[in-house]
Structure 1
Amino acid sequence: MTMTLAIRPSEMELPDRLATIASNGPTAIAHRLSELDTEWTTGRAVKATTGLLLVAGIFLAAFVDPWWLILPAVAGAALLQYMFFRRSWLTHIFSAAGLRSGAEIENERIALRVLRGDFQQLPTVFQVEDRDAVCRMEGEGGSCVGDECTKIDPRDAATMILEQTGGSKH
C-alpha cells in the first residue's frame, strides 16, 4: 500500500473538482476515493515527524553528543501541544505545505459517496410516524402513505447506516 502526500485544494476548488469527478462517472469517483484512502493528513504527518525526531535524537545522543537529546524534548513538546490543542505548530507547518486535516479529507470522501449514490437506501429519522395525519393532508396536495411505509427502529436504522457507510468495523 503506497501513501501519497497530496497538495491541499482550496475550498473554492473542491466543488469544481467534485463536479468534474462526478461527471466522469462512478469509475472516477472510485478512483478518487482510493486516492483519498492513501492521502496523508496533517495529524499523521505530525506523528510521523515527532517519531522521527524522537528516534533520531536518541540515536544521535547515544553515538554523537548528549546535547542531541534536545530533539526528543522538542518532539515531546510538539506531541503534548498536539494532544491538548489538536493544532500544533507542526500542524500549521504541514497545513501551509499543502496537507489537509482528516476532517477535510473525510468531507470530500462523504461528498463523493453521496454523489455516487451510496446513501440513497438508508433510513432517516424523518420516516413516517403518523400515517393518518399524512393521509388527511392528501386532499391538500399531500400524499397518502401506504401500509409499506413504517417508521424504522432507531437502533436498526443506525445499524444499517453503519453497515452502508463502512462505519461498523468488527
Structure 2
Amino acid sequence: MNLPPSAHRVPQNTPDDLNQRIRHTTQANIDYYAHHPDQIDDRLSELDEEWDIERVLETNAATLALTATIFGLLFGRRWLILAALVTGFLLQHGLQGWCPPIRLFRRLGFRTPREIEAERYALKAVRGDFKDVPQGMEGAEPAMRATGRLGA
C-alpha cells in the first residue's frame, strides 16, 4: 500500500473549501502580524500552545473510548460498541489519514502540525529571524544558526 506522507494525508482528505479557509485564515494572521510586528512574540507563544488536529483527534478518541468502556462496565455492554467504533476511527486515521471526525475538527479550524509550523516560520521571517543566515551554507547549519541552536 503506497500512502502519501503523514503531513499530507489530512489536507488530501479534507474538502478543498475547508483547506482553503484554513489557508486564508493563516495568511490573514501573517498579514496582520506583518503590520503589527510588536505582537509577533505573543502570537508565537499562542502557536506553541495551539492544539493540532492530531492531538485533538487522539484526545477525543481516548476520552470517548475510556468513557464508553467505563459505561460498558457500569451500565451494560452496549456501550462497548462506542469504544469499538471510536478506536476503529482512530485506526482508520492512522492508516489513511482520515476518519469521520476529521471533517468536523477541520471545520472547527484545527490545523495540522505542518500548517501551524508554516505560520510560525512565516512570522519568524517577518520578524527578521533569518536575515543574518549566511548564504551558501549547506545542510541544517543555516537553520540552526537562525534559531540560535548553533553558535555563530
TM tier, shorter chain? 0.7 to 0.9
Residue 123 of structure 2 is aligned to residue 104 of structure 1: no
Residue 25 of structure 2 is aligned to residue 17 of structure 1: no
SS of equivalent to 2:98: coil
Task: Please report the TM-score for the alignment, with normalisation by the length of structure 1.
Answer: 0.67
Letter aligned with residue 79 of structure 1:
L
The one of the two structures with greater contact order (alpha-carbon pairs below 8 A, sep at least 6) is 2
**C-alpha distance in 2, partners of 1:123/1:78?**
47
Give how far 1:16 is off: 3.6
**C-alpha distance in 1, partners of 2:134/2:145?**
12
Bigger Rg over Cα: 1
SS of equivalent to 1:110: helix
| Alpha-carbon distance change, 94 to 119 in structure 1, aligned in 2, over 3 angstroms | same
Residue 140 of structure 2 is aligned to residue 158 of structure 1: yes
| Counterpart residue number, 1:89 | 100
CA RMSD across the alignment: 2.4
Residue 23 of structure 2 is aligned to residue 41 of structure 1: no
Of the three residues 131, 139, 142, the one matched with 1:120 is 131
Letter aligned with residue 158 of structure 1:
A
Report sequence identity in percent: 29
Q: Is the 8 A contact 1:56 1:71 kept in 2?
A: no
**What stretches of structure 1 move > 4 A for 4+ residues in a row?**
none
Task: Please report the TM-score for the alignment, with normalisation by the length of structure 2.
Answer: 0.74
Give how far 1:17 is off: 3.0
SS of equivalent to 1:20: helix
| Alpha-carbon distance change, 50 to 16 in structure 1, aligned in 2, over 3 angstroms | closer
Deviations 1:122-154 (A, max 9, x none): 244xx2xxxxxxxxxxxxxxxxxxxxxxxx4x3
